Amino acid sequence: MDYSQFFSPTSASRKPSAIRQLQKFSSIPGMISLGGGNPNPTTFPFSKMSVTLRGGEVIDISEADVQVALQYSATNGLPNLVQWLRDLQLLEHRPKLQDFDICVGNGSQDVLTKAFEMLAAPGDSVLVEAPAYVGALAFLRPLGVKFVEVEVDESGPVPDKLEQTLQNWPADVKKPKFFYTVPAGGNPTGLTTTLERKHQIYEIAKRHNFIILEDDPYYYLQFNKHRIPSYFSFDSDGRVLRFDSFSKILSAGIRVGWVSGPKALVERIVLHGQASFLHPSGISQAVVSSVLHKWGHAGFLNHVQSVAKFYEGKRDAFIQSADKWLKGVAEWNVPTAGMFVWIKLLGIDDSSSLIQEKAMEKKVVLVPGFEFFANPTKTPYVRAAYSIASESDIDTALMRLGELVREATQHK
């Protein structure tokens, strides 16, 4: 595939950093480097590190590994971590195209926004779910793009609507170059796209020649026994960029995520990194890598299974309280992944003032649905997260929400 057709002018003009390019030569045995401006590690006050896990196990990070983590390193990530992640992708997704590259970022949002910059230029039309993740919309809006919203139902994006939109596309207007989607436990809907829908969307992508940006931070928080396969797993054309994150399963503050996909696309993300953040935090990568290598892939998969089980219990508690307090005044789908419930308030045309004012007065924080639509709209929906609040607090919050909706509809 000729990927140059997808690049924005800014991304297409990026060239490798002359200094960053020297990094790969510095580790060759016998090489004497007078080129890089690396600080001398003997001046760093840090020597060793250790990490204590919740179970009490202590993982020591050697002095040699600490010194590597403290120094400038490869833009796409520490080699031992990148290799572990590559092996994970091969084990978990078994991709059709195994000649893919990986770039680690400061959280998956970091590499995701670099992909947006790579593909989106002012005036471009972009395909996004309706509703969509507000953090992605916040980055895309200043780029001057035109949003083409893709309708979503309980099974994910609706293929017929997407196909109809693209078939009726004006001949004198360039078609969208990518579709941005959160397929598992979607933020804000909590919905998970079925495998059948994924295959249908992928075939549309082939017919209309666009890239799929698979933003999947909740992939490992699927509650069913068998996780629904990713777009990345059956991508035969090299038109899927997959974004994974440790934020929901290891630590949000450690800021480690990664992108997997075709070499030519990942290369552009790396070039952006060379000119912006140089490389992800070495210390964060070292900590994550030490834990992952200690666990092995089997241990990691056991860990994410226990995390998914935890959130499944939180989901069950939320739905139990919703059934108690919101029946008759709201509707919702029961999520099978993630940490969100998308609630439709019955008899309410616009949830914004109710949530931003009345709910706050009642000491309940929710997010009004309009925030998640790329194009301005009024909506009765509201997003609730069940990840942090206790079961009793969830119960109290939904009781208060139910009271607010009843009060609002009675005064109409």
Give Cα 155 to chain centroid, integer Å: 19
Closest to 184 (Cα-Cα) out of 308, 58, 25: 308
Q: How confident is the model at residue 48 (pLDDT cuts 50, 70, 90)?
A: confident
pLDDT-derived band at 244 (thresholds 50, 70, 90) equals: very high
Q: What is the pLDDT of residue 200?
A: 98
Whether residue 335 has pLDDT greater than 80: yes
Query: Does pLDDT of 141 surpass 90?
Result: yes
Cβ 294 vs Cβ 260: under 8 Å: no
Under CATH, what is the fold of the domain 63-297?
Aspartate Aminotransferase; domain 2 (3.40.640)
178-181 and 211-215: which strand pairing? Answer: parallel
- The whole-angstrom separation of Cα 194 and Cα 186 is 12
pLDDT in tens, 174-206: 999 999 999 999 999 999 999 999 999 999 999
Is residue 159 within 8 A of residue 180, CB to CB? The reply is: no
Model pLDDT, residue 69:
87
pLDDT of residue 19: 57
Percentage of the chain beyond pLDDT 90 is: 83
- Which of 32 and 142 is assigned the larger pLDDT? 142
pLDDT at 75: 85
User: What would the mean pLDDT of 131-154 be, rounded to a whole number?
Assistant: 96
pLDDT grade, residue 40 (50/70/90)? Answer: confident
Give pLDDT, residue 256.
Answer: 95
pLDDT of the residue at 268: 94
Mean pLDDT for 108-133 is: 96
Domain boundaries, the chain: 63-297, 305-410
**Could you report how far apart the first and last alpha carbons of the chain are, in Å?**
57
**Does the pLDDT at position 113 exceed 80?**
yes
User: Do 354 and 404 meet the contact criterion of CB atoms below 8 Å apart?
Assistant: yes
Can you tell me the distance from the alpha carbon of 49 to that of 404, in angstroms, rounded to the nearest whole number? Answer: 51
pLDDT of 273 strictly over 60: yes
What is residue 11's predicted lDDT score, i.e. its pLDDT? 87
Rounded CA-CA distance 106/77 in Å is 10
pLDDT given at position 412: 62
Of 28-37, 311-320, 338-347, which range is least confident? 28-37
What kind of fold does domain 305-410 have according to CATH? Aspartate Aminotransferase, domain 1 (3.90.1150)
Residue 73 is predicted with a pLDDT of 86
Instruction: Quote the pTM value.
Output: 0.93
> Mean pLDDT over all residues of the chain?
93
pLDDT tens-digit readout, 285-330: 999 999 999 999 999 999 999 999 999 999 999 999 999 999 999 9
Q: CA-based angle 316:321:324, to the nearest 5?
A: 130
Per-residue pLDDT tens for 206-237? Answer: 999 999 999 999 999 999 989 999 999 999 99
Instruction: Using DSSP, state whether 252 is helix, strand or coil.
Output: coil
Q: How confident is the model at residue 392 (pLDDT cuts 50, 70, 90)?
A: very high
Q: Do domains 63-297 and 305-410 have the same CATH topology?
A: no
Q: Where residue 46 falls among pLDDT bands split at 50, 70, 90?
A: confident
CB-side neighbour CA atoms (13 Å) of 223: 18
- CA dist 237 and 235 (Å) reads 6
- What distance in Å separates the CA atoms of residue 50 and residue 59, rounded to the nearest whole number? 5
Confidence of residue 24 (pLDDT cuts 50, 70, 90): low
**Which residue has better confidence, 181 or 26?**
181
pLDDT score recorded for residue 8: 86
pLDDT at 209: 97
Q: CA of 111: how far to CAs of 134, 243, 256, in Å? A: 16, 8, 10
Question: Which pLDDT band holds residue 334 (cuts at 50, 70, 90)?
Answer: very high
In the structure, what pLDDT confidence band is assigned to residue 96 with cuts at 50, 70 and 90?
very high
Statement: residue 377 has pLDDT above 60: yes
